[in-house]
């Protein structure tokens, strides 16, 4: 069953140029039944949002800045989120902001059994990221949109925008495989991906230049992939395990 999502956007903290790609991404996870964006629409810097909101059927919520230096948008979003939560009209939220002030909100929504997806820029503080079930960096959505439509699945965006696959990332994948592997060391890749997401909500193969987890793991020499027949369909099941280290020969 598709999630019914409430999409709440912090207009002060998200560039307007990403909205089209962002809404396409959100549609992968559920049906955005509520779409609202918060800001002081009397400010000239928010005027660029007008046509974008009309094209994407996003409702602007006016919030005046009552006090200098205080972000009234945050309070309005939080109050609306709690009202929506208690209305029981949705079973998931998408919080779009790079502001750590929404950390407690994300935590509270998850405590209530809601699925919480966060979207923000790479500058987003870690506390907000880990408070979400999944966190997506908005920059990677723009990279994908800029690629040629006929690009191969594992084609990489420009190197400057791609994170390096560090030993820490390899350890995260390896430990997740170990946690669910069978006696022979094999683990179903779908389960591995779900476990990695729970451990690190902002993990996304697109951060490293790959559209899917399979080509990402194929690119790492520490792992091996095996495709198996699927009795329930034509698509083959993909399993992964760590490669065994060659044993050293004992000196005679």
- Quick one: pLDDT at residue 84? 95
| Beta pairing class for 237-242 and 187-188 | antiparallel
Q: Is the pLDDT of residue 62 over 50?
A: yes
- Quick one: pLDDT at residue 234? 77
Confidence label for 76 from pLDDT (cuts 50, 70 and 90): confident
Confidence label for 1 from pLDDT (cuts 50, 70 and 90): low
Q: What is the pLDDT of residues 177-229, one digit of tens each?
A: 999 999 999 999 999 999 999 999 999 999 999 999 999 999 999 999 999 88
Ordered structural domains, the chain, with CATH: 3-146 (3.40.50.1010), 161-242 (3.30.420.610)
- Quick one: pLDDT at residue 39? 84
Confidence label for 235 from pLDDT (cuts 50, 70 and 90): confident
> Phi, psi at residue 36, to the nearest 5°?
-135, 145
Q: What SS3 state is found at 120? A: strand
Mean predicted confidence (pLDDT) in 56-77 = 73
Q: Is the pLDDT of residue 71 over 80?
A: no
Residue with tokens 């502001």: 99
pTM assigned to the model: 0.81
**Burial (0-12, 13-18, 19+ Cβ within 10 Å), 212:** middle
- Quick one: pLDDT at residue 155? 39
Q: What is the pLDDT of residues 11-52, one digit of tens each?
A: 888 887 888 889 999 999 999 999 999 888 877 767 777 788
- Quick one: pLDDT at residue 248? 57
- CB under 8 Å, gap of 24 or more: what pairs does 17-20 form? 17/142, 18/138, 18/141, 18/142, 19/52, 19/56, 19/58, 20/52, 20/55, 20/56, 20/145
Q: What is the DSSP letter of 207?
A: G
- Quick one: pLDDT at residue 251? 56
Distance CA 194, CA 197 (A): 5
223-228 sheet: strands from edge to edge: 187-188, 237-242, 223-228
Q: What is the pLDDT of residues 117-174, one digit of tens each?
A: 999 999 999 999 999 999 999 988 875 545 544 444 443 433 436 788 999 999 999 9
* Alpha helices for 88-157 (secondary structure H): 103-111, 126-131, 138-146
- Quick one: pLDDT at residue 25? 93
Distance CA 153, CA 209 (A): 10
**β-strand partners of 29:** none
CA distance between the termini of the chain? 63
- Quick one: pLDDT at residue 143? 58
Distance CA 161, CA 139 (A): 8
* Alpha helices for 19-137 (secondary structure H): 19-26, 50-56, 72-87, 103-111, 126-131
């Amino acid at each position: 069953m598709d999630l019914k999502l409430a999409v709440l956007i912090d207009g002060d903290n998200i560039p307007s140029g990403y909205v089209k790609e962002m809404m396409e991404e959100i549609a992968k996870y559920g049906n955005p039944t509520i779409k609202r964006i918060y800001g002081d629409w009397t400010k000239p810097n928010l005027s660029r949002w007008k046509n974008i909101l009309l094209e994407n059927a996003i409702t602007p919520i006016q919030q005046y800045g009552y006090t200098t230096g205080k972000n009234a948008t945050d309070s309005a979003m939080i109050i609306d989120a709690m009202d929506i939560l208690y209305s029981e009209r949705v079973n998931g939220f998408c919080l779009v902001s790079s502001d750590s002030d929404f950390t407690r909100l994300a935590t509270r929504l998850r405590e209530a059994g809601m699925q919480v997806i966060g979207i923000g820029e790479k500058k987003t503080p870690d506390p907000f990221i880990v408070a979400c079930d999944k966190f997506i960096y908005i920059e990677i959505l723009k990279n994908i949109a800029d690629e040629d439509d006929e690009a191969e699945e594992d084609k990489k965006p420009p190197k400057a925008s791609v994170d390096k696959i560090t030993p820490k990332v390899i350890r995260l994948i390896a430990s997740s495989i170990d946690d669910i592997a069978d006696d022979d060391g094999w683990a179903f890749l779908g389960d591995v991906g779900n476990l990695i997401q729970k451990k690190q909500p902002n993990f996304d193969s697109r951060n490293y230049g790959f559209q899917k987890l399979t080509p990402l793991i194929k690119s790492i020499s520490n792992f091996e992939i095996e495709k198996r027949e699927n009795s329930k369909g034509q698509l083959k099941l993909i399993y992964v395990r760590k490669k065994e280290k060659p044993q050293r020969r004992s000196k005679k």
